[in-house]
Amino acid sequence: MTTLDTSSLTEMQNAILQRASTLKNAAGLSTSATKDAGGIASVSEGSKSGGILSFNDALNEAMSSVNDSYIQSTEAQDAYQKGETTDIASVMLSRQKASVAFQATLQMRNRLMDAYKTIMNMSV
């Protein structure tokens, strides 16, 4: 079994929050990572008047932004196929943004699962 100290858990949490912030930035949302008085890191969104999001809320918003980018990519591709637009560069850019957002989400999921497995294998 593996034992972890609090500093390595804090580093994992900060890495996860940084990835969530990166996903939101890729989706065009303004975010900032902050620490409260207890040293707990959280992600706050500028459009919610500085409110602090829980990890679950941050994850749900990241997933919805990934879904939105996929939907926009599909709509741009359909519009190009129908001849409604001739800008292939914007279609390819939207597809690439959706792909990068999805890959980042998969990497974040894998990191979270590894952290969960590590915590569950800790000796008490």
pLDDT tens sequence across 25-56: 776 654 444 444 444 444 444 444 456 778 78
The pLDDT value recorded for residue 17 is: 77
pLDDT of residue 43: 44
For residue 65, give the nearest of 35, 88, 98 by alpha carbon. 98
Predicted pLDDT at 81: 92
The identity of residue 55, as a single letter, is F
pTM, entire model: 0.52
Distance in angstroms (rounded) separating the CA atoms of residues 105 and 48 = 23
The pLDDT tens digits for 50-88 are 567 787 888 888 889 999 999 999 999 999 999 998 889
- Angle between helix axes 6-27 and 55-82 (nearest 10 degrees) is 30
Structure tokens at 19: 């990835």
